[in-house]
Amino acid sequence: MSKFDKIVYQIYPKSFQDSNHDGWGDIRGVISRLDYLQDLGINYIWFNPMTVSPQKDNGYDVKDYRSFDPRYGTMEDFEELAKEAKKRGIDIMFDMVFNHTSTEHEWFQRALAGEEKYKNYYIWKKGKGPGVPPNNWQSKFAGSAWEYVEQFDEWYLHLFDVSQADLDWTNPEVRRECADIVNFWRSKGVHGFRFDVINLISKASFEDDPFNFDGRQFYTDGPREHEYLRELNRASFGQDEDHLTVGEMSSTTIDNCIQYSGADCEELDMVFSFHHLKVDYHNKMKWELQEPDFMELKSLLTEWQVAMQENNAWNALFWNCHDQPRSVSRFGNDGKYRRESAKMLGAALHMLRGTPYVYQGEEIGMPNAYFTDISEYVDVESTNIYDILLKEGKPKEEVLHILQERSRDNARTPMQWDDSPNGGFSDVTPWLKSASSYPSVNVKADRQDADSIFAFYQNLIRLRKTMKVVQEGWFSPLLEENRQVFAYRRDLEAEHLICVNNFYEAETEITLPLEGYEILSGNYPDAVVKNTIRLRPYETLILYKKD
């Protein structure tokens, strides 16, 4: 399968469409919206986990890898979904969470019951002393990364929530189990797999971290990581010539990602990396706010584009996902220039070299939730950090503002279909409160506009599908020193494309050699091609010529 012309649409199932009046999105709700997705033009739907889970971490705490949580539906519902999607030219990508399981998973429960086989599925260590964990590593959800189990007088590792016990990938039985799970879903017609925090599965050692105290240097991109991925490839998805795979890479490096997604490395098709989504972290700390460092953003996007193409490796392109605040609120202007900045961000991303991912609601410019009380938040990371920041002495108003900017719940509010109660997501109270923007920002309202954000995304997708220069063209940066414009070109034989993006409300003037170029797309209807162009607020231009 060619990855060059594919576009993936991410669905957060709890929040997409409720069909059975319980306030929780479900499989049949997705079936009811397949025509919408076909109209958008996407090739794949990536689903966040829908398997049985206690939902301590919104499904990333898996209790059973092979059964759907009844709140989402049944295996028969899914089989109908896969069949109906295929009729519309859409394949399915599933989330595989293989770094850890829920502590309610049968394997962990059997470990607690004393079965040595299953105890060896997880990472257990003796403490340094009574009540002292094996090392000083911190969980990514705050607090120690270790939990004590009295009956063993040992601690198990949980890099995430205490209910998410890390699997021990040095155990070949664990690796076989994971391959079997992938093959089970392949038998159900799933061709795509997104592997959650997959670069954390190889732990190098279990020393104290003398620097950051989070331990990430000891468990990120570990010594056997590439070996494990090649083995998983050969034992499962690599047997399917139509597969499409992506790895979520936490705190990774370009050098490792070149190996993960290199054309001849036999690991994964592409990688998610997050460096470009930390440019508004003050001191690189998620919960410390600052305005985005635009020059750092440009530099990172360019660095990854250039290094990956020079080594024949492949990026997954994204601004938004279930773990990130909404890009139009973060890098654009979700007030006066919401439409213009949403389109600009779409163009800036979709014309890059890689596979674009569209997160539900991005195609209509959904903004952050802007909740005003902690009771409105559900995400465990958000509620944990709220308590921590208050204990550090930050005023409640400041902490709530930080959550408004950073909480993962910003991405998880229900999809906004129309201006009816709860945005048409459900006719009962949803699992997470709808964002207050839904009466004006919704699919129905956007599509009534002839110059809609949705139509703009349709065109971006059409360009990707039909133009070889977009799919495979060589990336070269332009205007690298410009402090408010991200511009680049793509070249493939006689075809040339230039994408110019003003990331700010202030107008600015640029000069480029544009003789012979025509406008393929833009977010202002009266744009004209000249060598010197005055870019308006958040203006984007996609220009093309053929020799």
Q: Is the dihedral of CA 388, 391, 395, 397 positive or negative?
A: positive
Pairing of strands 8-11, 316-317: unpaired
Asked if 547 is an active-site residue, the reply is no
Q: Which two tokens stand for residue 155?
A: 């601690």
Q: Which two tokens stand for residue 513?
A: 């050699």
Please count the CA atoms within 13 angstroms of the CA of 416 that sit on its side-chain side: 28
The rounded distance, in Å, linking the Cα atoms of 500 and 483 is 13
The rounded distance, in Å, linking the Cα atoms of 206 and 370 is 40
From the candidates 248, 362, 363, 446, give the one annotated as an active-site residue: 248
DSSP per-residue codes, 97-140: --SEEETTSHHHHHHHTT-HHHHTTB-EE--SBTTB-SS--B-T
The rounded distance, in Å, linking the Cα atoms of 415 and 435 is 9
Other CB atoms closer than 10 Å to residue 207's CB: what's the count?
13
Residue 21 burial class via C-beta count within 10 angstroms: exposed 0-12, middle 13-18, buried 19 and up: exposed
Number of H helices, E strands in the chain: 18, 22
From the candidates 196, 280, 379, 539, give the one annotated as an active-site residue: 196
Closest listed residue to residue 409, CA positions, set 375, 440, 444, 365: 375
Instruction: Determine the 3-state secondary structure of 176 from DSSP.
Output: helix
Asked if 481 is an active-site residue, the reply is no
Q: Which amino acid is at 94?
A: F
The rounded distance, in Å, linking the Cα atoms of 131 and 128 is 8
- CA dist 309 → 158, 261, 263 (Å): 35, 11, 10
Active site residues: 196, 248
